Structure 1
Amino acid sequence: MKMYKLKELESKHVNQINGKIELNKLKISSNIKKMYIFHFLMGCYLISGVIIPFFLIYGGLTFFEFALLQSYYTIMIILFEIPCGLIADRLNKKWCLVLAGLSSALGALIYGIMPNIILFIVGETLFALGTALMSGTNEALVYESLKVLGKEKKFSRVIGKSNGLFLLGIVISAPLGALIAFYYSLPLVMTLMFIPYITGTFISLTIKEPHGISTNKKQKLFSSIKSGLSIFKENKILRILTFDLIVIELLVIFLVLGYQYYLIKELNISLLYLGFIEAFLTLIQAFFLNLLSSLEKEVKNKKRLLYLNTIIPGIGYFLMGIIFFAPIIIILILITVGFGLSRYIILLNGINKQLKEDNRATFLSTINMFRMLIRALVFPFIALIMIWDINLLFIVLGIIIILYTFKGKVKEDFL
């Protein structure tokens, strides 16, 4: 009788444990849907469609001052990488996302108070903190959740969908922000961003932190830089591929940062249309990235594909410098950005082939940091030239890219 009761108690205990495990898995499985919602909400960057008018008209800044502010934002992201890595390690990844949402929400509120450069700097600092807190944390949390569920093979698909929802947030919010700016006011657009960001914060509070699994292997910044530069120094092919990636991306990214200034200054495009153009620009980038991802696997001559994705942005820039018809200019902007910012997929494939598994993440993170740093340093100088003669700048950039297409050192076997 005692033996029977003992077995009965053991059975109940096992059932309770199994029940707790299933309940835990159920909570963990809900993480994926919550991360989808979180990403969509953080992508609701309402101001993206009218960001230049916000700073120049409402903020009273010059385009050069706007460029300096954006450079400050980029540098702050780099500087926040270390403390944000420590927060992810010592606190947990869930609270990183909570703080990211809260920081972004506060940044939006502060920006909308009044046009003041000090408030703008505080706002950019908070936005940079939010970006740094999310950097790598969302991917790690998704992977760890899938690992608990035994579905880690679905990681790429889940992250792809998550990034797609982030872009969808921009596509929907950019035209909405432009409509609000046109019919109401520019500061209201920034202030209303508080709503999706604080909602994302509350969503992240309900996420279940997976325990017992750690994918956070962030090295100290200087150690990572040293290791990445060592790999760069030893491998000539890596140097060629990385230089090619950074140079053309740098020349094209300025169009994304400055096209609204060009459309307003040279073509007098209304605020109402800027948000829709931003939405189309986001869609075209997503389209070309997906297209090139498929073509890159099918096309045998990758050098020819890279050639096409380099010379077309060059031609686009050149034509923008000599054409003044708004519809044609907008199409050229979409094509130049679409081809120019998707070419990195071809080069990244070649870079990955040159790297060992144990140093791949270190090298790629180092290169990413330098891409951001170079962009931050160069953008203010480009802004000055844009203010001086934007059409001449486009012609010169076009010629540089076209000449580089023929003089580039990337070979087929590198890719």
Structure 2
Amino acid sequence: MRINKNIVLLYIFSFFKNFLIFGAVSVPFYLHKAGLDYKGMFILEAVFSIGMVVFEIPTGIIADKFGRKISLLLGTLVFGGSFFIFGFVPVFHILIVAQIICALGMTMLSGADRALLYEVIQKSKASDKSGRIMARYDAFGTAGMLVAFPLGSLFVGSGIVSYTDALGLVFIATALAILLSGVFILFVTEDRGGIHSNTSISSLQLGINGFFYTFKHPKLRVFGLNYALISSLTFFMFWFYQALLLKNHFPVTFLGFVASGFNFTAMILLFFTPFFEKKPGIKNTLFLSSLIPGVLYILSSFIPGVFMAFIAIFGVTNFRMLRMPMLNSLMNKHIEDGNRATVLSGISMIERLSTTLLYPIVGMLTDISLSISFLVLGIITVILSVLLRVEEETLV
């Protein structure tokens, strides 16, 4: 079958949208370029998370009323523009504004890209290949990150420009990559006949409805809380791997290779999902994939050295990514078709709110000691892995 032009353009868009060159040096940027402590850094991230929730409604209206293509074009301009602010004016109160703008741009992109891709698939009569096309779209996005992360850290550690200047320039380069992604969207043909006015319920309202629905359903309550809370706790390793390695005198030049490495090994691990479902079983896999990250957090708080750091980083991130599709599948099995979007939005809201609440607490603990922060995260993760353990009868 002839490859559809629009699908190819969206693949390229996905690659450059995810070409986040700053990704593996964001912590050094906040600490050494912006001069913030961890509390300040995580307050900024909490602002971003709150912004993501607040902007769900207006940005959804833009996509519904004016079209996915317009939403994506505006999103790339706003999202990309926010990184120029990071690169040129790394001052705390200005960065708060930048995070709000970044959240606005992200919500314009979130969902609209997949909706447009789905419409393109339908129009090209390739519905039978939709799963494969969607997976390739995600793969191009992952490829963008795998290439961008090492490039960013190599540049920062290269000495071509001063260390602090390089930390700002990687954000500017990221902005340019995102703006470039918007150029490819310009050439995508959108069928406006499939666009409807904003009569559908908002994402925020879906989240609130789903939140209450999840707690009323015994099995979904177990799956949803397990998914949201463990994901929220293990998410912090995506921030702390940089701090942990730098603490152990690991060169900043190679941080990007570590980020690409744990993303790549997680992709490989996901291919063995059928093995984990059969041999240890879903119940044991879900329990161990929450317990082991907690134990690794605790061990890394007591045992110094790069070797322990690598075990903790790869263990926490890989188990987090392994368990998410399993829980997604279990949740979908127990959700009626008419409530699917509602419930999944509710669970996503629980995760986002949990992370937002943890940001300042974890930041303050890390300013005292990274080891204390890891110890607290580890103890909470271990406790929740036991309290939220999925039992055999829940799987039926």
Please point out which of 271, 274, 277 is paired with 2:255: 274
Aligned letter for 2:230? I
By how many angstroms is 1:298 displaced?
4.6
What is residue 15 of structure 1 aligned with on the other side? none
> If the length of structure 2 is used for normalisation, what is the TM-score?
0.91
Q: 2: CA distance between counterparts of 1:411 and 1:121?
A: 43
- Write the distance in 2 (CA, Å) between the matches of 1:195 and 1:220: 31
Aligned length: 388
Pair 1:350 & 2:325 matched: no
CA distance in 1, matches of 2:272, 2:24: 25
Instruction: Give the % identical residues.
Output: 27
Q: Which moved more, 1:151-160 or 1:340-349?
A: 340-349
Which residue in the other structure is 2:191 paired with? 210
Q: Are the aligned partners of 2:53 and 2:204 in contact in 1 as well (CA < 8 Å)?
A: no
Report the more deviating stretch, 38-47 or 159-168. Answer: 159-168
Matching of residues 121-140 of structure 1 within 5 Å: 121-140=96-115
Task: Please state how far the C-alpha of 1:220 moved relative to its aligned partner.
Answer: 2.5
* Per-residue Cα deviation, 1:15-61 (whole angstroms, up to 9, x for no partner): xxxxxxxxxxx9x9311100100000011100001001111101111
Partner in structure 1 of residue 245 of structure 2: 263
Indicate how the Cα distance of structure 1 residues 169 and 350 shifts in structure 2: closer, same or farther if over 3 A, else same: same
2:175 counterpart residue number: 194
- Please name the residue that 1:143 is paired with: 118
Give the 3 Å change call, closer, same or farther, for CA 32–363 of structure 1 in structure 2: same
Give the RMSD, CA atoms, in angstroms: 2.3
**Which fold has the larger relative contact order, with Cα–Cα distance below 8 Å and residues 6 or more apart in sequence?**
2
> In the TM superposition, what whole-angstrom CA distance separates every residue of 1:128-185 from its partner, at most 9, and x where no partner exists?
1221111111111111111112212222211111111111111111111112212222
- The partner residue of 1:308 within 288, 293, 303 is 288
> Are 1:105 and 1:193, in contact at CA under 8 Å, matched by a contact in 2?
yes
Deviations 1:197-241 (A, max 9, x none): 121111111110023335888413454244323422431111111
Matched with 1:21 is none
5 Å matches for 1:103-252? 103-182=78-157, 183=159, 184=161, 185-214=166-195, 218-221=200-203, 223-252=205-234
Q: Greater shift after overlay, 241-250 or 118-127?
A: 118-127
- CA distance in 2 between counterparts of 1:247 and 1:110 reads 32
Amino acid aligned to 2:313:
I
Measured in 1, the distance between the counterparts of 2:17 and 2:99 equals 16
Q: Which moved more, 1:391-400 or 1:191-200?
A: 391-400
4+ residue runs of structure 1 moved beyond 4 angstroms?
A: 214-218, 296-300
1:56 aligns to 2:34 (yes or no): no
Shift of 1:403: 4.2
Structure label with greater radius of gyration: 1
Q: Unpaired segments of 5 or more residues in structure 1?
A: 1-25
Task: State the alpha-carbon separation in 1 of the partners of residues 70 and 27 from structure 2.
Answer: 32
| 1: CA distance, partners of 2:343 / 2:366 | 33
Q: Does the aligned pair in 2 maintain the 1:180–1:188 contact within 8 Å?
A: no
Letter in 2 for 1:242: G
Question: Taking structure 1 as the reference length, what is the TM-score of the superposition?
Answer: 0.87
C-alpha distance in 2 between matches for 1:223 and 1:109: 32
Q: Which consecutive residues of structure 2, in runs of 5 or more, have no partner in the other structure?
A: none
